[in-house]
Every structure is written in structure tokens, then in C-alpha cells.
Amino acid sequence: MNSMLDRREFLKVSIATGAVVLVGQGLLGSAFAQEKPRFSQVNKLAITIITDNYYDSLRPDGVIGKRYRSTVQKSIHAEHGLSYFVETVSVGQTNTFMFDYGVDARGVMRNMEVLGISLDKVDALGLSHGHWDHWGALMGILKANQGKIPRDTPFYVGEEAFSERFSVRPGNEPRSIGKLDRQELESLGLLKIVEVKVPTEVVKGGYFSGTIERVTDYEKVSASSYVRRGDKLERDQFQGEQALFFIVKGKGLVVLAGCAHPGIVNTVRHVQKMTGGQKVHAVIGGFHMVASNAETVHKTVADIKALAPDYIVPTHCTGFEAITVFQREMPKQFVLNTAGTKYVF
């Protein structure tokens, strides 16, 4: 079958699925409750870290992951942001997905250029959650690539992805940290916005997690995180935050998180539960422990260790202290991430 036809058919199915979620959430939720969702495997998975908080051109390649080596003319931009480019291969067909966008559009697009990533090959896009360090560069990227991105490309988001977020510190006035403007995004006429609440295939063999079940008693959302709902500011529990997961043939689960505000242990357990207890091959992403106390860090690392992933790759907002504990407690599984690294499973 022609690969473009496959791609178009997949986009049609994706958009149709999204429409059901948007207008018939109760019906779809009921269907999932009655029949366990089936998840297809991928033969190959590649995840490129377009940008992250840290870059080191001299660091050797890890057990997994090939790092980008900068030259005078081609260097990697690091920032307080996160962006991924995902490629899945199933039955000889390659599909692509961009997940989160970092902050600085010029820096992120420069990284895409040196890494050989072009949006004329993207099948869909998605956003993990509504914090600026994950969507800040999106509008700039879209405007610069209007001639490359196919019209009505699906853009997958969870609940409240377009809501205004605030940081509320004791003794200080609430500080707005912005929002992704849905109206501005739609005005470009490029993307078809699809809101999901249940596990949803967003790229061939790649799935958004849906609403993540909270099961641990120690993974708490920061008390400073608020969201605007109507005319009120309310605690933000990030119920709409999405992780991305895959089942790699012969390997098991690969879980890719943005910030994991619902908790990285909750996230992995949620995905395992949905997929029937699949073995965890790799966990990659921001684990949002940058401000966590030592007890929370140690409980998190202990529970991840008990899940026995083959690889653990903390990124972005995990925090230096937590990263060092992962490295100490899981030395054979631990991989230090750097921006520009490509992981192939």
C-alpha cells in the first residue's frame, strides 16, 4: 500500500477518534470500561531529544543513545525546556510525532536543523501539559513551517492544555506563567486540535496515557501550582497531563513523560496496568522532583527500581539531586541525558 495513503488513513482515523472524545466522552469512557483497549506493538522506536536542560558535546555515548557532537558551525542549544521527536516503525511503515516544543523557537529550530528533523515528515503533534517550558516555542515553530506542515495535522492535548497557569508563593501575589492561546493557534489553519481523556493512539504504535491514576501517597503536586478556572484560581492537579507510551516488540514498554506532575511512579504503573503488566524497558522524561524533599526522592527511586526497567533516563525537571540518587541506586540502568541524543529501541 502507498505510504502516503497509509498516512492519510491514519490521520482520518485519529481525527475521527478525537471527535468522539470531544463530543461523546461518556460513551467512549464506557466502551473502555467494558473492553480493555488493545495496544499494537512497534518493531522499532526512535526518540530524539530536540532540546533539554543539559548538553555536553564531549560526553561519551551511553549504553543506549547516540549523542550529537557539536562543531564550530553546528552546535546544540540547551534551555529550561523539553522537546521530543518520535519515529515508530511498524510493518515497514515509519510514522513521526513531535511531542512538546521547548521555549526558544530559534534555538529549538536550530537544533532541528542540525539534527535533520523536518516537519514536512510529521504525522501528528502533541503536548504533554500547559506549562510554558513545553509549549513556548510552538507558535514560532508553526509560523516558520507553514509551508511544510500538512493542513489539519492532528494536535493532541489533554484537559486544560489552554488554561492560564499561575505560580502562587506564600506572601506573594499570584504570578501568571502564561497560557497557550488556542485562538491564535487555530488562526494559523494548520492543526486539528484533538482533546483526549482516555488512552488514545496519537501516532502509529504510540499512545497518550489518558488521565493518569494516582496511587502513591507521596507523589504530590506542588502547592504553588494553580490554574484559572472561570474567574477563580484553583489548585492545579494536572489531571490532563499526558505521557506517551509504546510497546516495543521483544523489549516491552517505553514510557515518555513531559514533566510527570502526576508522579512518574503513578505514570508508569498506570501504563503497566492498561497494558496488562508489560515489562518496563525504558522510562524517559522529566520526573518533576527538582523541589522534592529527600524522602520523596528516595521513595520514588525505590519504587522505580522495584519496577525493574532496563533503562532510566531522567530529563528536564527531574532535578540534580534526584538524578544523582537514580545514578547511585540504579547504576546499570541509569543514562544521563543530553540534548540532541537519539535513543533507538
How many other CB atoms are there within 10 angstroms of residue 39's CB atom? 19
pLDDT (0 to 100) of residue 5: 42
Separation in Å, CA 335 to CA 10, 35, 268, 314, 321: 34, 37, 18, 8, 15
Cβ atoms 132, 103 nearer than 8 A: yes
Q: Which residues of 157-194 are buried (b: 16+ CB within 10 A; e: fewer)?
A: bbbbbbbbbbebeeeeeeeeeebbeeeebeeeebbbbb
Average pLDDT across each block of 10 residues of the chain; the chain has 345 residues. List them in order. 44 45 37 63 98 96 94 95 97 95 98 96 96 98 95 97 96 95 97 97 98 97 95 96 98 98 98 96 98 97 98 98 98 98 98
pLDDT (0 to 100) of residue 2: 42
How many other CB atoms are there within 10 angstroms of residue 339's CB atom? 28
Closest by Cα among 278, 269, 271 to 250: 278
For the chain, the C-alpha Rg in angstroms (whole number) is 19
- pTM of the entire structure? 0.89
End-to-end CA distance of the chain: 25
Q: What CA–CA distance (Å, rounded) separates 15 from 20? A: 9
- Domains (range + CATH), the chain: 3-21+39-344 (3.60.15.10)
Phi, psi of 123 (to 5 degrees): -90, -30
Separation in Å, CA 313 to CA 3, 6, 326: 33, 32, 9
Closest by Cα among 142, 264, 126 to 193: 126
pLDDT (0 to 100) of residue 92: 85
pLDDT (0 to 100) of residue 35: 54
Q: Which stretches within 192-244 are classed as H helix?
A: none
Q: What CA–CA distance (Å, rounded) separates 193 from 104? A: 23
pLDDT (0 to 100) of residue 47: 98
Cβ atoms 54, 78 nearer than 8 A: yes
